[in-house]
């Protein structure tokens, strides 16, 4: 099977899953965390080099404060519980986005987990936190501008590779496949630059119900695609 090197997943449907079962939205997020574990393990076992999960967007701050607080607490809990597991399974942890806006305790946990798994050589697991694709491009432009001003660079000679060096995903493989659960047909500000020539796979399955068989279907569909890159 021709596997994608880098998969990005828009994990959608936690709230709808909970509503269907007459449960609080928080329970949908908790079930979604279980899906994260099984899909991460499955991707690592199949030799995927990088997995990026759309975990918390810049727009998600608009949700009720109680729900946001619960999400932050669950993220802390997940990092505490899974750091040793990531080390054991040779996973390297990464986080992208405007991380400075996250709660201080969560930022420290992220920093510690990145450091503790930095020597691992297996799949890179990236959580997109307080992330937005447009915001990422703005931050990249700011980074280039600051460097140009400091070093006296001629920005008229800049190309795509130069900009990519300032993106949050610098150093990760090209994004080959974007999976979106819950049937929605949009990117929702996720990896806008990186997904320019990615393949897309959308399933009606809600994220908490997305399992290894669902991942296999996505990989099988990816294998059938003829990637043209505009050619």
Active site residues: 12, 60
For residue 51, report the phi and psi dihedrals to the nearest 5 degrees.
Answer: -130, 120
The torsion of the CA quartet 132, 133, 136, 140, rounded to 10 degrees, works out to: -170
d(CA 37, CA 44): 11
Query: Is-contact 2 199, C-beta < 8 A?
Result: no
How many Cα neighbours within 13 Å face the side chain of 54? 25
Q: List the end-to-end C-alpha distance of the chain, in Å, as a whole number.
A: 23
Residue with tokens 């597991």: 85
């Amino acid at each position: 099977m021709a596997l994608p090197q880098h998969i990005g997943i828009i994990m959608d449907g936690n709230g709808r899953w909970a509503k269907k079962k007459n449960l609080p939205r928080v329970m949908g997020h908790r079930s979604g965390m279980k899906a994260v574990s099984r899909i991460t393990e499955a991707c690592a076992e199949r030799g995927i080099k990088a997995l990026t999960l759309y975990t918390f967007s810049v727009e998600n701050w608009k949700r009720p404060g109680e729900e946001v607080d619960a999400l932050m607490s669950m993220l802390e809990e997940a990092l505490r519980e899974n750091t040793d597991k990531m080390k054991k399974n040779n996973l390297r942890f990464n986080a992208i986005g405007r991380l400075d806006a996250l709660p201080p305790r969560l930022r420290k946990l992220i920093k510690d987990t990145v450091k503790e798994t930095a020597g691992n050589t297996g799949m890179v697991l990236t959580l997109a936190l307080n992330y937005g694709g447009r915001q990422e491009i703005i931050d990249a432009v700011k980074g280039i501008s600051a460097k140009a001003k400091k070093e006296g660079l001629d920005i008229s000679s800049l190309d795509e590779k130069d900009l990519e060096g300032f993106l949050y995903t610098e150093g990760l493989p090209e994004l080959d496949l974007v999976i979106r659960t819950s049937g929605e047909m949009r990117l929702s500000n996720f990896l806008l630059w990186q997904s320019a020539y990615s393949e897309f796979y959308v399933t009606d399955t809600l994220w908490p119900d997305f399992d290894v068989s669902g991942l296999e279907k996505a990989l099988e569909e990816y294998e059938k695609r003829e990637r043209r890159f505009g050619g």
